[in-house]
Structure 1
Amino acid sequence: MTEIPKSKLYDLEERTALLGENIIRFAKKIPDNLVIKRIIPQLVAAAISVGANYCEADDAIVFI
């Protein structure tokens, strides 16, 4: 797992990107079977969407 420097502790954009990266690394280590083939893509998509949704919401605040 990647350590977050104290100066960036509350940098949510960076933290959500690290979440996606860590989940992808984790998913690559999981052995393959029928159940996992269905669950891992959902897990990766959900983890990545956290960062995408945060960035989208953060950009929307600028226009308000």
Structure 2
Amino acid sequence: MKLEIKLTRSLIGRKPNQVKTAHALGLRKMNQVVVKESNDAIIGMIKTISHLVSINEIE
């Protein structure tokens, strides 16, 4: 299963670990969308910045 991850809130003023997590997922600009394969590492990264992103499942 793949996940479509969209950065919906700004990274300005966020804690450094949250900014680094977003960058590691490939999210740098607002409303940018990346598609990642779902695994434990990606899910953990999403939980770290869950308040900044929106997630859609893709079959």
Q: TM > 0.5 between the two?
A: no
Q: Which has the higher contact order (CA 8 A, sep 6+)?
A: 2
TM-score by length of 1: 0.27
Q: Which structure: greater helix fraction?
A: 1
Q: Which structure: greater strand fraction?
A: 2
Greater C-alpha Rg: 1
